[in-house]
Amino acid sequence: MIASVFIDAFRFIPDHASLLFHKGVGTVELAFAALGIAIGLALPLGLWLGHKHRGLFLALALSNFGRALPSIVLIGFAILIFHFSLFGDCMVALIVIAIPPILTNSFFAVDGVDRDVVEAARGMGLTEAQILVRVELPLGLPLIVAGLRIASVFVIATATIAGIVGGGGLGDIIANPAAYRDAGVLGASYCVAALALVTAGALALLQRAAFRRMSPTT
Amino acid sequence: MSGLFLAKGGPVIPSFGKADKCITHQHWFCTSWVQKHWGDILQPALIQHIELTLLAVGIGFGISFAMALIGFRFRVLDAPLGAFGDFLYALPSLSLFVILLPITGLTWTTIEIPLVAYTLFVLYRNTISGLKAVPAEVLESARGMGLTRMQTFLRVELRLAVPTIIAGLRIATVSTISIGTIAAFLVADGLGKPIFDALEAPDIFKTELVASSALVVGLALVADGLLLLLQRALTPWGRVR
Amino acid sequence: MPGQAAELVFDEATKVYPGREGAAVHELSLTVPAGEICVLVGPSGGGKTTALKLVNRLIPLTSGDIRIDGRSIRDHDVVELRRSIGYVIQQVGLFPHYTVEGNIGVVPRLYGESKAWTKTRSGELLELVGLDQSYAKRYPAQLSGGERQRVGLARALAANPPLMLMDEPFGAIDPIVRTRLQDEFLRLQGELRKTVVFVTHDVDEAIKLGDRIAILREGGVLAQYDTPAAILAKPVDKFVADFVGLDAGAVARLRARADVPR
């Protein structure tokens, strides 16, 4: 009995490949656009604060608060406060969700670099920017990528939820059992899960590469 | 077979009660409404949410602790166990709830399994890194003094790992409280219910949204604070980061 | 890139930290002639590391001046200044993500030298500090403490700076290796004749390495600045006499120093 639901779901996927693809692109667009903007905002700030060793309180408070606030609530508030399109409102919520892990991780990545190495670099005559880019950034890379990974997980999960309020993407299907029946909803869920795993997996590989590059020992 | 997913009914019309000006003018927070519906909407939801969270974190901690012990004892298993936690964490909550539905039905089990799964990521990593972080000199001197392996583990390693483990518990608890709101998509329990109700009203019901969100965040902050106190109580030997 | 050894002058250099009683360095005045090793010694809190870091402006001066070949350090662009000074610290601070060769080449590359040039230079310096060419491609994590410090030295010498600042460079090394490094450093100095300011808390090391020794007492006040022989022969007060551990051992060390080729 239950098995037939799964079979239907798996049949749904190829049957409605173009629909799923289309919706999938919607989710991807939303997610990656939000991620991109969040990175643009949070990464430089986190790196700079970490370099200056200032703003620890901000980094911690932000990450704590970001973790406590449910994504669905953020979406709700975004819709209430901003009056962009539904897509735009959801984007705002996603950006807000993505910022804390990126900011916090890049802060700690740079802040945590061995102080002796930084002092030696400064004493040798590297400019502050050169210290950040040539020393702190490479050494902090694994932690930074870990933050990106967490942010992407959050964003894809929330982009799916955005579908509940009509934000588009694969969430549309999941939130609409009347139209798509069980098979559709289940099928779309699999697609979202696959999307999330692929993204997380790619970033995990990136993180491992960064780690290997940063602490090379033959 | 169809109808498994028709858990969510149509739009919910919030009970305005008498024509309260505050409500009809859609203010952000109407204390009258909150007072009126504390007993029938907000408090039960809060209590359910607390139950949901305790269950998830309790089970999650048990499982990840066992996993960490295994990963710590057999280092070879550390990487795959960690990867397993990562894998589970990457799955979007909504999608995981939906996928489980045909298997476990509209019960709390369906909700708890993903919530437990998400705690594994943080709890496993923190527990095992806490255990690994015990300085070699400390272990060495314990051994030199004649403590057995088990005694060293129980009296030294485990106790020193407590701050890191509790840090993980704090993160996991706060995250669970937050993700637990999504559960209401399937099962109308927990603080997610008033949130969803508020969102699905024809005009988003601000007060209900604000009130229930405040409860979620408040609950998270209280839980975090309590765990922090627990940590301080368990580590009298010093202030920890 | 810089070259000739420079003369270093401290002119009433003072460092006061706001909110802290007393100065960290109090009106320090001394001249280090070009090509000499000046060792700053003193008890902890004596301000010797602070005084050192005033020179390359890692710590800003409160008042007074420091001049290199007559030119005030304030007149230089701070980054240019630091590139022209070799800086060696106790923990070395090698970049873990660069090879030995990469580390040595940091400052020359800042000056715009090509990779090929840096490679050759790195090879020269490895030989100079007594390391085999095979070390060039290794990473700091693969080196022992003594090897790392040699690389740190090579790195500081890479741009041929006229002035070297060394902050307890051999402090974290075990005694046997330390002696060897000290001897090799003296040999190197014999060849290169750099102006060196060397900080240490080890009086024996000071006597062994210094052409002149500056003893700083607590509060960054200069107690005595003279050649080791002069200090041992005529300590200016009880503090200096006690600090230097004036006894038969010290005199023996002084004689031993005369035997090391300079």
CA atoms in the 13 A half-sphere facing the CB of C53: 18
Q: What is the pLDDT of residues C66-100, one digit of tens each?
A: 999 999 999 989 998 999 999 999 888 899 888 99
Say yes or no: C92 contacts chain A, CB-CB below 8 A.
yes
- DSSP class of residue C141 equals G
The predicted structure's pLDDT at residue A164? 73
Share of chain B above pLDDT 70, in %: 87
Specify the higher pLDDT residue, B21 or B127.
Answer: B127
CA atoms in the 13 A half-sphere facing the CB of C226: 13
Instruction: Name every residue whose Cβ is closer than 8 Å to that of residue A167 and which is 6 or more positions away in sequence.
Output: A30, A75, A86, A87, A89, A90, A159
Distance CA A36, CA A52 (A): 24
- Picking from A67, A75, A197, the nearest residue to B175 by CB comes out as A67
Instruction: Name every residue whose Cβ is closer than 8 Å to that of residue B94 and which is 6 or more positions away in sequence.
Output: A157, A160, A161, A164, A171, A174, A189, A192, B182, B185
- Picking from A161, A196, A201, the nearest residue to B182 by CB comes out as A161
- Picking from A70, A157, A182, the nearest residue to B2 by CB comes out as A182
What does the pLDDT average to over B4-18?
48
- Per the CB < 8 A criterion, the answer to whether B128 and B65 are in contact is no
Please state whether beta strands C8-15 and C25-32 pair in parallel, antiparallel, or not at all (unpaired): antiparallel
Residue C246 has pLDDT above 70, yes or no: no
User: Measuring CA to CA, how many Å separate B103 from each of A120, B1, B63, B100, B111?
Assistant: 60, 12, 21, 5, 12
Torsion from C-alpha of C130, C132, C133, C139, nearest 10 degrees: -100
Distance CA B97, CA B76 (A): 32
Burial of C202 by CB count in 10 Å (0-12 exposed, 13-18 middle, 19+ buried)? middle
Q: What sign does the dihedral B96-B179-A205-A92 (CA atoms) show?
A: positive
Distance CA B206, CA B198 (A): 7
Q: What is the CA radius of gyration of chain B?
A: 22
- What does the mean pLDDT of chain B come to? 82
- Picking from C79, C81, C95, the nearest residue to A127 by CB comes out as C79
Specify the higher pLDDT residue, B18 or A89.
Answer: A89
The predicted structure's pLDDT at residue B177? 93
Say yes or no: C207 contacts chain A, CB-CB below 8 A.
no
Question: What confidence tier does C174 reach under pLDDT thresholds 50, 70, 90?
Answer: confident
Question: What confidence tier does B14 reach under pLDDT thresholds 50, 70, 90?
Answer: low
The predicted structure's pLDDT at residue B102? 80
Interface of A with B in 127-156 (CB under 8 A): 153, 156
Count of CB pairs separated by less than 8 Å, A with C: 72
The two tokens of residue A63 are 């990450």
* Closest residue by Cα to residue A114 from B132, B239, C92: C92
Cβ–Cβ below 8 Å for A73 and B209: yes
Distance CA B142, CA B157 (A): 10
Share of chain C above pLDDT 90, in %: 56
Question: What confidence tier does B240 reach under pLDDT thresholds 50, 70, 90?
Answer: very low
Cβ–Cβ below 8 Å for B6 and A177: yes
Residue B241 has pLDDT above 60, yes or no: no
SS3 of residue C70 by DSSP: coil
Interface of B with A in 194-233 (CB under 8 A): 195-196, 198-199, 204, 206, 209, 213, 216-217, 220-221, 224
- Per the CB < 8 A criterion, the answer to whether B190 and B219 are in contact is no
Chain A environment of C91 (Cβ under 8 Å): 116
Cβ–Cβ below 8 Å for A125 and C58: no
Low-confidence residues of chain A, pLDDT below 70?
A: 1-2, 167, 214-218
CB atoms within 10 A of CB C212: 19
Interface of A with B in 18-57 (CB under 8 A): none
The predicted structure's pLDDT at residue B10? 45
Say yes or no: A87 contacts chain B, CB-CB below 8 A.
no
- DSSP class of residue C44 equals T
Interface of C with A in 106-165 (CB under 8 A): 106-107, 110, 139, 141-142, 152, 155-156, 165
* pTM beyond 0.90, yes or no: no
In what helix (H) or strand (E) does residue C12 lie, and over which residues does it extend? strand C8-15
Residue B16 has pLDDT above 60, yes or no: no
Cβ–Cβ below 8 Å for C97 and A214: yes
What does the pLDDT average to over B118-138?
88
The two tokens of residue A190 are 């699999």
Highest mean pLDDT among B138-147, B185-194, C31-40, C236-245: C31-40
Cβ–Cβ below 8 Å for C107 and A122: no
Chain A environment of C84 (Cβ under 8 Å): 125
Chains B and A touch (3+ CB pairs under 8 A): yes
Say yes or no: B181 contacts chain A, CB-CB below 8 A.
yes
Q: What angle do CA C245, C249, C251 make, to 5 degrees?
A: 90
Cβ–Cβ below 8 Å for A125 and C155: no
User: Measuring CA to CA, how many Å separate A182 from each of A161, A178, A191, B93, B111?
Assistant: 17, 9, 14, 18, 18
The two tokens of residue C130 are 């007594």
* Closest residue by Cα to residue A193 from B152, B141, B117, B59: B117
Distance CA A215, CA B193 (A): 48
Chains C and A touch (3+ CB pairs under 8 A): yes
Question: What confidence tier does C250 reach under pLDDT thresholds 50, 70, 90?
Answer: low
Residue B2 has pLDDT above 50, yes or no: no
The predicted structure's pLDDT at residue A194? 86
Specify the higher pLDDT residue, B103 or B28.
Answer: B103
Distance CA C199, CA C216 (A): 11
